[in-house]
C-alpha cells in the first residue's frame, strides 16, 4: 500500500499564497495579511489531517470473465473491494491497466454497487500482463489535500493472438483430413517389385518390407513408396534475422505471423488432423489432438513467443516421416533462402512470408510450395496460398 503526494494543485497554490502573504505581512507591517496566511495554513493542516489520519486497509479480489483474452476481444472484470475504515471515504478508484489492455478502469467511490466494481477490458497486444493494483484517491472537503492508497495484489491477464477463420483446404489435400493417409505412389505392382533398403533411424514403421527383412535378416524398408503422414505440422520461423530488431513496440509483421500460426493450427485440427506446432529451432510450441486444453496451451505459448535464435533444416523437424499439410510461416526471405526450403515430400506444403524478396516465391514454387504474402489479413493470405497450390501432377488444385 503506497501513498502519493499529500497536496492537490489547489493545495500547492494555497500553500504558495500563504507563504507570500506571510512574507508580505513582515515587509509592509500588515497584521491582517499574516492572519490570512495563518488561516490558509490552518486549512491545509485540517485538510491533511482529514484525509491522512484515518486508518484504512482492505483487500481486493478480481474475476475476469475469460481466462484467455484474444486480441480485439472484450472481457468483463468484476472487482470486489473490501475496505476497512471508520467511515466510507468519498473519492475516485482506479485499477491500473497495462498499455496492452484497453479499458476504462476508473470511477467514483463508493460505487452504486457498494464494494463491487465492474468494467470492460479489450486485448490490444498479446502477452501476459498484470492488472492492478487498485488505488483509491480521496480529497478533503476543501480540495487542498489528497491521499492515494493502493490495495491488493495484481492479477495477470493473458492476451492470446487472434484466431481467424480460414477457408477449408481443397479435396485433393484435406477433405479426408486426419482420417486417411494421403495417397502413396508406388513404382511397382506389389511389394515384390519394390526395391528394399536398410532401415535407418527415422523411417516410418509402416514402410517395413517384411519379406525382405525375413530374407536378409536385417530390418528393411520399401524405398519407392512415398508415404505422407495424416499429421500436419505448422512451423513459425522465429529466427531473429527474419524480423525487425527487438524494441519496446510490437512488430506488426511478427504479430501477423503469430496470428497466422494460431489460425492455421486450429483450422487444421478442425479438418481432422493431428497438428504439431513448432518453431524453426525445433522447439515444440503445442501439440493439438482435439482437446480444449491443447488449444489453450498452444495459445498461451504463442502469447509469449518472440523472435530469437536461428532456424534448422526443415527435415530435422519431421521426426522421420513427411507430414500431410505443412505450413511454414516466416518473415524476410529471399530467393536463396527459399531455394533451401525443401519440404521432403510433405503432402501440402504452404509457405506464408511477410516480406518475400524478389524471386523468393518463384524459387519456393519450383520446390512445390504454394506461397503467398502474409499481411494484416491472414484469411486473404491463406486463400491466396490455396489458390496457388500445385498438385503432384503439375496442375493447380481448384479451390
230-251 per-position pLDDT tens digit: 689 999 999 999 998 887 788 8
Residues 46 and 101 occupy one common structural domain? no
Residues 46 and 128 occupy one common structural domain? no
Q: Please indicate, yes or no, if residue 280 is contained in any of the structural domains.
A: yes
Q: Assess whether pLDDT exceeds 50 at residue 180.
A: no
For the chain, percent of residues with pLDDT exceeding 70: 85
Residues 23 and 104 occupy one common structural domain? no
Contact of 384 with 375, CB cutoff 8 Å: no
Q: Please indicate, yes or no, if residue 273 is contained in any of the structural domains.
A: yes
Cis, peptide link before residue 110, omega less than 30° from 0: yes
Residues 234 and 346 occupy one common structural domain? yes
Residues 303 and 344 occupy one common structural domain? yes
Angstrom distances, CA of residue 102 to CA of 124, 127, 153, 266: 7, 14, 20, 26
Residues 331 and 351 occupy one common structural domain? yes
Q: Which domain holds residue 203?
A: 191-222
Residues 71 and 30 occupy one common structural domain? no
Q: Assess whether pLDDT exceeds 90 at residue 275.
A: yes
Q: Please indicate, yes or no, if residue 292 is contained in any of the structural domains.
A: yes
336-363 per-position pLDDT tens digit: 989 888 888 888 899 999 999 999 999 9
Provide the whole-model pTM. Answer: 0.74
Residues 264 and 381 occupy one common structural domain? yes
67-84 per-position pLDDT tens digit: 789 999 999 999 999 988
Residues 320 and 248 occupy one common structural domain? yes
More confident residue, 150 or 189: 150
Residues 41 and 87 occupy one common structural domain? no
Instruction: Output the nine-digit C-alpha cell for 328.
Output: 511454414
- Give the pLDDT band (50/70/90) at residue 310: confident
pLDDT at 195: 61
Report d(CA 40, CA 44) in Å as an integer.
6
Output the average pLDDT for the chain. 83
CA-wise closest residue to 341 among 317, 319, 321, 320? 317
9-36 per-position pLDDT tens digit: 999 999 999 999 999 998 988 889 999 9
Q: Please indicate, yes or no, if residue 3 is contained in any of the structural domains.
A: no
Q: Please indicate, yes or no, if residue 396 is contained in any of the structural domains.
A: no
- Total structural domains within the chain: 4
Q: Which CATH number do you get for residue 329?
A: 3.40.50.410
Amino acid at each position: 500500500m503506497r501513498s502519493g503526494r499529500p497536496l492537490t494543485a489547489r493545495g500547492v497554490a494555497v500553500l504558495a499564497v500563504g507563504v507570500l502573504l506571510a512574507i508580505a505581512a513582515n515587509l509592509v507591517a500588515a497584521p491582517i495579511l499574516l492572519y490570512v496566511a495563518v488561516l490558509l495554513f490552518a486549512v491545509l493542516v485540517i485538510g491533511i489531517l482529514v484525509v491522512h489520519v484515518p486508518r484504512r486497509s482492505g483487500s481486493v479480489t478480481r474475476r475476469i470473465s475469460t481466462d484467455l483474452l484474444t486480441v480485439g476481444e472484450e472481457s468483463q472484470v468484476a472487482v470486489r473491494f473490501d475496505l476497512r475504515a471508520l467511515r466510507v471515504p468519498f473519492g475516485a478508484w482506479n485499477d491500473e491497466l497495462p498499455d496492452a489492455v484497453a479499458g476504462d478502469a476508473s470511477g467514483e467511490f463508493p460505487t452504486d454497487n457498494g464494494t463491487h466494481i465492474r468494467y470492460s477490458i479489450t486485448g490490444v497486444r498479446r502477452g501476459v500482463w498484470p492488472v492492478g493494483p487498485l488505488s483509491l484517491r480521496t480529497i478533503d472537503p476543501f480540495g487542498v489535500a489528497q491521499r492515494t492508497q493502493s490495495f491488493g495484489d495484481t492479477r495477470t491477464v493473458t492476451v492470446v493472438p487472434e484466431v481467424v477463420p480460414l477457408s477449408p483446404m481443397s479435396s485433393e489435400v484435406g477433405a479426408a483430413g486426419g482420417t486417411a493417409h494421403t495417397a502413396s505412389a508406388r513404382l511397382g505392382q506389389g511389394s515384390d517389385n519394390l526395391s528394399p533398403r536398410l532401415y535407418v533411424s527415422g523411417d516410418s514403421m509402416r514402410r517395413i518390407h517384411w519379406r525382405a527383412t525375413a530374407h536378409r535378416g536385417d530390418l528393411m524398408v520399401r524405398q519407392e513408396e512415398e508415404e505422407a503422414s495424416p499429421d500436419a505440422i505448422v512451423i513459425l520461423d522465429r529466427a531473429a534475422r527474419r524480423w525487425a530488431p527487438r524494441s519496446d513496440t510490437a512488430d506488426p509483421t511478427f504479430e501477423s505471423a503469430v496470428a497466422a500460426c494460431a489460425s492455421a493450427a486450429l483450422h487444421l485440427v478442425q479438418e481432422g488432423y493431428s497438428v504439431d506446432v513448432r518453431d524453426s529451432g525445433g522447439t515444440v510450441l503445442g501439440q493439438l489432438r482435439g482437446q480444449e486444453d491443447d488449444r489453450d496451451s498452444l495459445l498461451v505459448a504463442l502469447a509469449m513467443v518472440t523472435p530469437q535464435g536461428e532456424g534448422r533444416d526443415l527435415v530435422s523437424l519431421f521426426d522421420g516421416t513427411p507430414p500431410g499439410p505443412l505450413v511454414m510461416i516466416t518473415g524476410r526471405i529471399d530467393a536463396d533462402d527459399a531455394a533451401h526450403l525443401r519440404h521432403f515430400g510433405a503432402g501440402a506444403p504452404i509457405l506464408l512470408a511477410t516480406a518475400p524478396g524478389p524471386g523468393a516465391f518463384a524459387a519456393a514454387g519450383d520446390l512445390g510450395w504454394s506461397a503467398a504474402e502474409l499481411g494484416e489479413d491472414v484469411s486473404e493470405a491463406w486463400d491466396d496460398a490455396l489458390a496457388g497450390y500445385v498438385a503432384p501432377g503439375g496442375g493447380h488444385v481448384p479451390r
